[in-house]
Amino acid sequence: EAQVTQNPRYLITVTGKKLTVTCSQNMNHEYMSWYRQDPGLGLRQIYYSMNVEVTDKGDVPEGYKVSRKEKRNFPLILESPSPNQTSLYFCASSFTGINQPQHFGDGTRLSIL
Amino acid sequence: AQSVAQPEDQVNVAEGNPLTVKCTYSVSGNPYLFWYVQYPNRGLQFLLKYITGDNLVKGSYGFEAEFNKSQTSFHLKKPSALVSDSALYFCAVRDTNSNYQLIWGAGTKLIIKP
């Protein structure tokens, strides 16, 4: 089954404790992206990757890191999480091209205490 | 700045009635527009897109959207609403100034009452 898989789905942690949210897709998509969803703000892009070893900042990259060492994986790293990073996070992937729709994972709900 | 607006936080419709979820946009150049739906505890799912061609675009689950260039709108419609259509709907447009990344509306919660 074609899918984008995020782990964990839920995480409660404390300020300053490094964490990684994994994202993997099995559709051979070149493009991958991370978003955060907050009530009333829609989706805001954190980072995106047009292909392996190519990453770019989105609208809200501060406090996050990413890497794209393999085509299928695009982990999101919070080196020193803070409470304002409490949010619902989505990973998405697609083929490149302006007409290509994105496929989303089911989300990761992070709570930073 | 390029943007997308969904002017209604929530839309309430009785089952069987037609529904419309509104979206307006502001971009330079040609607009590339998308609608997605989000069910509870799930990721977003693609519904339909407008790239070029016919102004009326048909998509998944019986939804369609009408592109209106003069009004810079891309409203989502369905002739007869189902209770199962209740969800959060997002409009998005490609940002022609920022490597064609998607700009997202804030979302509209659609509630279909039996």
Q: Does A48 lie at the interface with B, CB-CB under 8 angstroms?
A: yes
The predicted-structure confidence for A59-113, as pLDDT tens digits, reads as follows 999 999 999 999 999 999 999 999 999 999 999 999 998 899 999 999 999 999 9
pLDDT for the residue numbered B30: 87
Q: What is the pLDDT of residue B100?
A: 83
pLDDT of residue A2: 86
Q: Does B32 touch chain A (CB under 8 A)?
A: yes
Number of H helices, E strands in chain A: 0, 11
pLDDT at B97: 78
The pLDDT of residue B85 is: 97
Q: Looking at the partner chain, which of A43, A48, A101 has a beta carbon nearest the beta carbon of B104?
A: A43
Put simply, whether A31 touches B (Cβ < 8 Å) is no
On the question of pLDDT at A40 being above 90, the answer is no
For residue B33, the number of C-alpha atoms closer than 13 Å in the C-beta half-sphere is 35
Interface of A with B in 54-93 (CB under 8 A): 56, 58, 90, 92
Alpha carbon distance A31, B1 (integer Å): 24
- Pairwise CA distance, residues A34 & B108, whole Å: 21
B70 touches A: beta carbon within 8 Å: no
Q: How many CB pairs under 8 A join A and B?
A: 52
CB spacing of A106 vs B46 below 8 angstroms: no
Whether residue A42 has pLDDT greater than 90: no
- Within 8 A of A105 by CB-CB distance, chain B residues are 43
Report pLDDT digits (tens) over B22-76.
Answer: 999 999 888 999 999 999 989 999 999 999 889 999 999 999 999 999 999 999 9
Residue contact B102–A45, C-beta within 8 A: yes
Residue A72 has a pLDDT of 97
Contact predicate B114/B93, CB 8 Å:
no
Taking the C-alpha atoms of residue B95 and residue B90, their distance in angstroms, rounded to an integer, is 16
Length of chain B: 114
